[in-house]
Chains A and B, each alone.
Chain A
Amino acid sequence: MPILTIDGVAYEYEGRAKLLQLCLNLGIELPHFCYHPAMSIPANCRQCLVEIGQPVVDRETRKPKVDESGNPVIQFFPKLMTSCSVDVTDGMVVRTHRSSELVDRAQEDNLEFLLINHPLDCPICDQAGHCPLQIQAYKYGPEGSRFEFRKVHKPKRIQLGPRVMLDAERCINCTRCTRFTDEISRSHQLSIIERGVRNYPMTPPGVVFDEPYSMNVIDICPVGALTSIDFRFQARVWECSQTPSITITNAKGSNCYYWVRDNLILNVTPRQNDQVNGYWLPDEDRQGYTVFNYDRPKGPTIDGRLASWDGAQARAAELLAGAAGEEMLFIGSAYATVEDNFLLGRLAAALGAGAPVYIPHVEEGAGDDWLVTDDKTPNAEGCRRLGIMPVDESVVRARVRSGGVKLLYVLEEDPVAAGLLTSDDLRDAVVILHHYHDTNQTLPQARVAFPAAMVVETIGTYVSQDGHAQRVRPAKAIRGINRTLAMEMNRSRQDQHGTPFDRWHNEENQVDCRPSWDILPGIATRLGHELAYRGPRYVMQELARTNPAFEGATYQAMRMRGVRLADIGAEV
């Protein structure tokens, strides 16, 4: 295998690679700004300069030249080279700042240049704490400043579009944002204008930066030049914990991080998943986080009055015992996890009711070819694989209106808001509801209502429309104690309930809700049926074993980035 020597250590490598990417893969940090693995390589920031040498080949014999000790003669390029753009070749010798004083000086010099006109905005800049310029200046930059002139001033806090704010002074002209709009989203809405040190990114005249993927430039911007108008000044990043999870705005299952401080979701950023969303998120996925924080229910209710969990589960069991299976209709949810839906189906079967159905939420033409789908639910595919099929609206309405449904069990859905049934339709039926928000339109008709945990509060599996099964981890604490959730949160967040700097522990922001996979067994037991699983992990283990559509889809297989069910042999 070809060999590359970096700072005196030999590394074998495979295939073709750019030197910088190879070093990053090997865990060898080289400072850089403009390089991004998903985009073209402009090599304009000049931060990644290293010394590179190649073995000399004798022009006549075509053989490598060797010196007296038998070592290959290495000829170093006369100038420092940008590691981001250089192809690695067999026998290449590289000196980074670790073994070359020249390179060390070059790192420092380049950062000095970047800092001379950069405004001293750190105290008010959102990027602080996760700013590559801050971090690299701290690690590799000069001690203090010897620049004694007026910094170049440019437009500050300009709204480029509805969601992205520009501070032109902070920009280091890495061109990541313009390359994103040219190469990735292809909206061509950003370009650099002006010349020289007056450069900054801007939209063409008459154009607003409103493309549906505009907020991605916020993540790739290595400084605080492009920030989120929504998240601006909301929180410092070191006060927030980040939990790896997925977005649920649509059926793509794009991977994300939920940022939490004081148990409120404050921001959503992309998480890399080469099989699903690459490095990107659509803006609509990021904007939906307020649903996790506001209008949440106060607790379980019986006939509209707050009750205890025990009391509510007992009452629900009573009501279920009072109806015959054929008179029950179970409605599952493409918003709920596979585990929730599965247990609902088990309960329905145990009670002799038909298999649950789910309400599709598909907006024809709303999707694009990329990360936005027509289907606005995260788990329709999961439902179908469980045998939970889209509801036949006319059949169900007929059944309900003719009095054929005495009890309606609704899991994490809102049939009234969805237009499936009206409040009138439900007046004579018993409705048991798991709901997310107290604005749920079916809630007024519910005899018993349980606040259900949302994706940020639960552990569970979602299957995207591409058949990618992914499982989520809790980012937001619920009010009660659930050992499974608590243990998982310890692992998925920096410490038990937030970073050491998340000094707020406000119980008000903890919703008194539970995952449906926790609520349903409580009811089932009271009816004499056991839905006992030690946790959602074990639900998936059983499913993986018994349901061919989920074969192999264990938490172990899904890990952090999910698994493509077709790849592991699950049948559709």
Chain B
Amino acid sequence: MEASNGSAASRAGDWRKYERVLLPPIRDLHRLDVYEQHGGYRSLRSVLTSGDWTPASVTDAVKASGLRGRGGAGFVTGMKWSFMPPPEPGKARYLCCNGDESEPGTFKDRQLMEYNPHLILEGMLIASFAMSITTAYLYVRGEFADWIVHMERQLEKLYEKGYVGDNILGSDFSCDIVIHKGAGAYICGEETSLMESLEGKRAYPRAKPPFPAQHGCWGMPTTINNVETLACAPLIVERGAEWFAGMGAEKHPGPVLYGISGHINRPGVYEYPTGMLIKDLIYEVAGGMRGGKKLKALVPGGASVPVLRADMIDGVTMDSDSLRKAGSMMGTAGMLVLDEDTDMVSFLRRITHFYHHETCGQCTPCREGTGWIENLVTRIDEGEGNLRDLDILLELCDQMEGRTVCALADAAAWPVRNTINRFRDEFEAKCKPAVHATGPYAMAE
């Protein structure tokens, strides 16, 4: 497979000359003094003290930038911010930064927390200003223990220097940041489940409506954004909405962290504009297929999104429109690259195990369906499955999707449906051969 020449259908522009802004190559950027030396908190200062910005103008800039959520759903961030009702005196408002990164194949937020945590914190403050929020929570999955410790230390320094707390940088704006540890549940990445967990309750997702902007944490207006999404806010303030909107794919612009893993030579997190050709990412950025093997399949956005066969990725770029047309989704841009030796049945089995393990159990289709699906795929993987099981699996996907409180059931159904449909031969080959009845029960010839 050859790489492209970088023009053709790529929407990422001249990506080879791209200079990183989310994860710039600056040593020790995680330390406050280094961050400040390199222009850190300048955006915040500008927003709060220059007189050039109001909460509404910050939101407008984010809207104009075209930033879309980087947590998987890809909702237009500026629009989400504008859902917050006007502030009411005495009524609390909250921001939750969703650092519960648990989508399989996704490890980009963790990079930000390790290498550029101040960008996240600055983004949280700017977002809080935009939405007149005075308490912001950073919900981090408990497994990121080291980075939580580090960020808490940095947060203390921020309080000391007046970047967080009362009258930030001498302005009228006061905001507290609280870092909250998760405790090992994928479901807490779901925004309403995150709020339940934050409130100290069992992390069952809530029915929507009402939406968090109307009825969020403790019933108060709340916005939840992904870590990477909020990290873009200081960049938009500093370099302008047009800069952001002009980078990468038209309808899904900006810098994005591609988390590439699997059977490639150089797995890792790579920052480039959106709209990169998948082929460029695999063969140029990630060093090509390991051992010179052929590409078999690619899951472009984390385990929940539909898998693409190698013959489906020609000319496909990493942005939501292109991926949707190709039959998948942008998700978290966590790319799982699978080579020709991959057993797709075994791959799907591991994914179904994940959803079975992570379902919260609140609603019937997901609680029961994910386990049944894992049982069926496992049985096929072990050579004991029947052809009929494939039909049942596809029906179960229909029985789960769209019928539940949250989207975990959908996320569990999509890989099953698409992996079976797109690699049907492999699944059939692993099933037991169909047995035809003989004697009086045989079908007439």
Which A residues have a C-beta under 8 Å from some C-beta of B?
Answer: 42-47, 49, 78-80, 82, 85, 106, 109-110, 112-114, 116-117, 146-147, 149, 152, 172-173, 191-192, 194-199
Contact = CB atoms under 8 A, between A and B. Distances in A.
A195 B207 contact: no
Given A44-B362, A109-B399, A149-B375, A196 B367 contact: yes
Contacts of B368: 113-114, 116-117, 197
Contact of A199 (B358, B361, B399): B361
A180 to B, nearest CB: 16
B361 to A, nearest CB: 4
Given A109-B365, A191-B202, A80 B402 contact: yes
Contact of B405 (A44, A173, A194): A44
Q: Max chain A CB contacts within 10 Å: which of B363, B365, B367?
A: B367
A116 B402 CA distance: 20
B377 to A, nearest CB: 12
B361 A198 contact: yes
Interface in B351-374: 356-365, 367-372
Given A85-B207, A192-B202, A44 B372 contact: no
Contact of A196 (B359, B379, B405): B359
Nearest to A33: B364
Given A46-B404, A147-B372, A173-B362, A199 B207 contact: no
| Most B CB within 10 A of own CB, among A47, A147, A195 | A195
Contact of B372 (A45, A149, A191, A198): A149
Contacts of A79: 402-403
B298 to A, nearest CB: 29
B359 A110 contact: no
Interface-centre pick from A85, A106, A113, A116 (highest chain B CB count, 10 A): A113
Given A43-B405, A149-B372, A173-B367, A196 B207 contact: no
Instruction: Report the 3 A-B pairs with minimum CB-CB distance, sorted nearest first.
Output: A113-B368, A199-B361, A109-B399
B360 A195 contact: yes
B64 interface: no
Contacts of B375: 149
A395 to B, nearest CB: 60
A95 to B, nearest CB: 16
Interface string B383-403: 000000000100000010011
Contacts of A112: 399
Given A43-B207, A44-B362, A110-B365, A196 B402 contact: no
Nearest to A110: B364
Interface in B151-188: 185
Contacts of A198: 361
B244 interface: no
Contacts of B357: 196
A152 B371 contact: yes
B204 interface: yes
B359 A46 contact: no
Contact of A146 (B185, B371, B392, B405): B392
B386 to A, nearest CB: 9
A197 B362 contact: no
Contacts of B364: 44-47, 110, 113-114, 172-173
Contact of B363 (A45, A192, A194): A45
Nearest to A194: B361
Which DSSP category, helix, strand, loop or mixed, fits chain A's interface?
loop
B369 A113 contact: yes
B363 A46 contact: yes
B196 to A, nearest CB: 12
A191 B200 CA distance: 13
A112 B364 CA distance: 10
Given A82-B207, A149-B375, A172-B364, A46 B356 contact: no
Contacts of A173: 361-362, 364, 367
Contacts of A114: 364, 368
Contacts of A199: 361, 367
A76 to B, nearest CB: 13
B403 A196 contact: no
Contacts of A194: 361
Contacts of A116: 368, 372
A106 B363 contact: no
B202 A197 contact: no
A33 to B, nearest CB: 9
17 contacts: A42-B362, A45-B363, A46-B364, A46-B404, A79-B402, A80-B403, A109-B365, A110-B364, A110-B399, A116-B368, A149-B372, A195-B361, A196-B360, A197-B356, A197-B359, A197-B368, A197-B371
Contacts of B207: 42-43, 82, 85
Contacts of B369: 113
Contacts of B361: 173, 192, 194-199
A192 B361 CA distance: 10
Given A82-B207, A106-B403, A196 B363 contact: no
A198 B202 CA distance: 14
A264 B372 CA distance: 46
A248 to B, nearest CB: 40
A117 to B, nearest CB: 6
Interface in B195-252: 202, 204, 207
A42 B207 CA distance: 8
Contacts of B367: 113, 173, 196-197, 199
Nearest to B186: A195
Contacts of B363: 43-46
A73 B372 CA distance: 40
A42 B403 CA distance: 14
A80 B402 CA distance: 7
A171 to B, nearest CB: 11
A42 B364 CA distance: 12
Contact of A110 (B185, B204, B360, B403): B403
Contact of B185 (A43, A49, A152, A195): A195
A44 B204 contact: yes
Interface centre among B369, B370, B372 (most CB of A within 10 A): B372
B362 to A, nearest CB: 5
A40 to B, nearest CB: 11
Contacts of A172: 364
Nearest to B358: A196
A31 to B, nearest CB: 12
Nearest to B399: A109
Interface string B29-58: 000000000000000000000000000000
Contacts of A47: 364
Contacts of B379: 149
A193 to B, nearest CB: 9
A82 B206 CA distance: 13
Contacts of A78: 402
A191 B204 CA distance: 12
A48 to B, nearest CB: 11
Given A173-B361, A196-B359, A196-B367, 8 more contacts: A42-B204, A44-B362, A79-B402, A106-B403, A113-B364, A113-B367, A113-B399, A199-B367
B197 to A, nearest CB: 12
A194 B185 CA distance: 11
Contacts of A80: 402-403
